[in-house]
Amino acid sequence: MTDTARAESPPPAAQGPGRPYGYVAAKNKEALINRMRRIEGQARGIEKMITEDRYCIDILTQIAAVSTALETVAGILLDDHVNHCVRHALSSGDEAVAAEKTTELLQAVHRFTRTR
């Protein structure tokens, strides 16, 4: 299964009736949407800077800002995932679900840290 398919088809232990994802349960959703909108605006600003032939160091500075902003969003989502989805899987008593969530978490951390 691809990462995209996994993201679109949540495992039953993480999602279901009355069981939203951590960022929803923690009421972070609106804050995350606002952060992503700001990041989107920054990315459009970088495109405009390139179009306008702005100084390369200024563009690189903005790229670093967007990268940091995305890392912050990823950190928030990772925290929520651990504190909600993984914690629920571990406390469920179902060893298979706990093992699946642990593996999934480690893979996500490896993907996230590989980009550094």
| Mean pLDDT (10-residue bins), the chain, 116 residues | 44 48 69 94 98 97 97 90 89 92 92 75
pLDDT of residue 114: 79
39 part of a folded domain: yes
**Cβ pair 82, 109 in contact under 8 A:** no
CATH of the domain at 48: 1.20.58.1000
The domain tally of the chain equals: 1
> What's residue 20's pLDDT?
64
Per the structure, the complete domain to which residue 90 belongs is given by 21-114
pLDDT at position 24: 66
3-state secondary structure 80-96: HHHHHHHHHHHHCCCHH
Domain-embedded: residue 7: no
Are the beta carbons of 23 and 77 closer than 8 angstroms?
yes
pLDDT at 17: 40
